[in-house]
Structure 1
Amino acid sequence: MQKTNPGRFFEDYELGMVIDHAVPRTVSGGERAMYHALYPMRHALYSSDEFARASGLPSSPLDDLAAFHIVFGKTVPDVSLNAVANLGYAEGRWLKPVYAGDTLRASSEVIGLKQNSNGKTGVVYVRSRGYNQHDECVLDYKRWVMLRKADLDAPAPDTVIPDLKSALNPQDLVVPEGLDFSTYDFTLSGEPHRMSDYEIGETIDHVDGVTIEEAEHMMATRLWQNTSKVHFDVTARPEGRLIYGGHVISMARALSFNGLANAQMIVGLNAGAHANPCLAGQTVRAWSEVLDKAETKAPGVGAIRLRLVATKGGAPFELKGETGKYNPDVLLDLDYWALMPL
């Protein structure tokens, strides 16, 4: 009897399959400290218990993307261990804040399958959920990943591509219970700009850049217990270890502080694409575009929809060429909702 896990291949998935992932993870202040060491994170709500309490929360939560990485990492051994690439995200919602002492686990359901025309790979669509120790869903998102076939003669499944929303409606967003920005301290947050200061269609160059280091990427991926071979084993990808896409997302989000310091909490993920591979030694820069704005029922709290683009040095505000394909310098195109004082 084989004791080791070689991971699933495309032909191993069936529509409707539900996978409960190992291993639960109890988080502490250590995750926050490590997250802030890996990325230049400075958003006040995730840095200060006092700022969080003044905003109506019991304490400073774990950064929203750190919670995402932990849940995502749980899914990797069962969903994307043998992935060629993680292709995209949709309908992501942060439903409850995660605090030190919470224990997270994850479960995924296969919601779509499509074999590629080459017969060697296929795309698997999953809906993944993260739960805390009270069995409360804290995170719910969909993603699709390209996987190899181990048995090229395995029959192709019926093609099922899920109908995914192009964007979440503002009413789909969940504002954390008690959140209140009516007495928001703009001095402590780092910038004076509130949601009414941003215009739909406005673009923001976040100015700074960070060079991706091999050691930091490896440490981050291990921190999230992400075991995908392309991130660790150079023999799985001889052209170079692929930087975990979430590492690029967090780096770009951290860079966006300069110009969007008051976009405090990510609560919705509308769409996301890793446009081109990222390798160690490349310098990540970022720019944003304001796509939409909405009010919420929480006092003083608005929702701002943003496109966050990470590049490896390309000119800001240039996304796609005349053919409609992403420019080769574009690493990430992420569409998300964040909470910001009105």
Structure 2
Amino acid sequence: MTTKTNPGNFFEDFRLEQEIRHATPRTVSAGDAALYTALYGSRFAVQSADSFARQLGLPAAPLDDLLAFHIVFGKTVPDVSLNAVANLGYAECRWLRPVYPGDSLHSVSRVIGLKENSNRKTGVVYVRSTGYRGSEAVLDYVRWVMVKKRDESAAIRQEHVPQLAGRVAPEQLQVPAGLDFAHYDWGLAGSPHAWEDYAAGEKIDHVDGMTIEEAEHMLATRLYQNTAKVHFDQFRQGREKLGRRLIYGGHIISLARALSFNGLANAAFIAAINGGRHVNPTLAGHTVYAWSEVLEKAELPGRKDVGALRLRTLALKDQPAAGFPDKDAAGKYPDCVVLDLDYWVLMPRQS
């Protein structure tokens, strides 16, 4: 008897420099964008209206940057993290080109690091994944994920932990082709605050909260064709420590981004993710809040219409953000913190 089903890769199946060409290519549509809006309520103007985007020199409203990220990410899951315990972090993530309805995306990953855990039951796999539209790269990022071993006694032939940049340099940030913020409509965008109005060290409470429903997080994860078992299979998860389906970490990133509109409405594009950690698990029924800190401001070479803000956004569960909950002097996070994300956004300038 033969088996034709795919059990997914376990930690000992990966090899350094292994290249994985992922199934399945995906043509994205306006329907995907509409469903994404229904799930998160994002209100950023450039991604909401063709008319607004065309006024800035773009051919149409691009897909939300995180929707593109999740679709590219979702392609990698059956090969990289089907047997994951947890997705641990991100680095060196850059959006290279906007994605528009009608574009077809596919993903390719390369294994750049392997490190077995001391319990010998799991190991950490580092991959650099790239999303393509035809032959054009639209997104490139590194992530690391803890994956179960099939056989605890299996020997790992070669291990390596890659050295990753602490941040994407401002000169590496890509401004979408054709974009010109000279005719930006501040009223329609929803806020008068430009790049000049923010200062390093400033903290912003995004005020609003959003409660996660069980059906919503599973619907979102299916939208991205992410097949990780921990998000769907209550029969299996009921036998694990938490006893519940875990919410896809990207779902929390998108919620935090949508909530950040209140205070950062003109952060029109995410240009890069410098680093990110899923600090504590989130389950259905939790209410997510968020706050952000401005870490750095940067001018972009040859551009007077747009600048970059480096932000650190923390997402919280069942804890309003007014007190800006954060890790202590020893680096320990309170239980309410579920996400710590360091990223660059592009914002129009007034001068």
TM over 0.5: yes
RMSD, aligned CA: 1.0
Equivalent in the alignment of 2:155: 155
Shift of 1:285: 0.2
How many angstroms apart in 2 are the aligned matches of 1:322 and 1:304? 25
2:346 is the counterpart of 1:339 = yes
Equivalent in the alignment of 1:61: 62
Deviation larger for 116-125 or 50-59: 50-59
Q: Give the counterpart letter for 1:264 in structure 2.
A: A
- With structure 2 as the length reference, what TM-score do the two structures score? 0.95
How many angstroms apart in 2 are the aligned matches of 1:23 and 1:257? 32
SS of the aligned residue for 2:68 comes to: helix
2:120 is the counterpart of 1:119 = yes
Contact 1:115/1:157, CA 8 A, preserved across alignment: no
Equivalent in the alignment of 2:333: 326
How many angstroms apart in 2 are the aligned matches of 1:272 and 1:20? 25
2:215 is the counterpart of 1:215 = yes
Q: How does 1:1-342 map to 2 (within 5 A)?
A: 1-133=2-134, 135-238=135-238, 239-296=243-300, 297-314=302-319, 316=321, 317-342=324-349
Contact 1:179/1:299, CA 8 A, preserved across alignment: no
Shift of 1:184: 1.1
Q: Give the counterpart letter for 1:289 in structure 2.
A: E
Q: Count the aligned residue pairs.
A: 341
How many angstroms apart in 2 are the aligned matches of 1:327 and 1:90? 23
How many angstroms apart in 2 are the aligned matches of 1:43 and 1:315? 23
1:89-139 Cα shifts (integer Å, max 9, x gaps): 000000000011100000000000000001110000000000003x10000
Q: Which runs of 5+ in 1 are unaligned?
A: none
Q: Which runs of 5+ in 2 are unaligned?
A: none
How many angstroms apart in 2 are the aligned matches of 1:174 and 1:236? 42
Deviation larger for 2-11 or 158-167: 158-167
Contact 1:114/1:157, CA 8 A, preserved across alignment: no
1:291-330 Cα shifts (integer Å, max 9, x gaps): 1111123440111110111001335322113431221100
SS of the aligned residue for 1:22 comes to: coil
Shift of 1:32: 0.7
Moved over 4 A (4+): none
Contact 1:180/1:299, CA 8 A, preserved across alignment: no
1:126-158 Cα shifts (integer Å, max 9, x gaps): 00000003x100000000000010111110333
How many angstroms apart in 2 are the aligned matches of 1:235 and 1:269? 34
How many angstroms apart in 1 are the aligned matches of 2:194 and 2:187? 12
- With structure 1 as the length reference, what TM-score do the two structures score? 0.98
Deviation larger for 217-226 or 318-327: 318-327
SS of the aligned residue for 1:305 comes to: strand
Q: Give the counterpart letter for 1:303 in structure 2.
A: A
1:3-44 Cα shifts (integer Å, max 9, x gaps): 000000000000000000000000110011000000010000
Shift of 1:236: 3.2
How many angstroms apart in 2 are the aligned matches of 1:299 and 1:265? 16
How many angstroms apart in 1 are the aligned matches of 2:304 and 2:68? 25
How many angstroms apart in 2 are the aligned matches of 1:294 and 1:323? 30
Shift of 1:54: 1.1
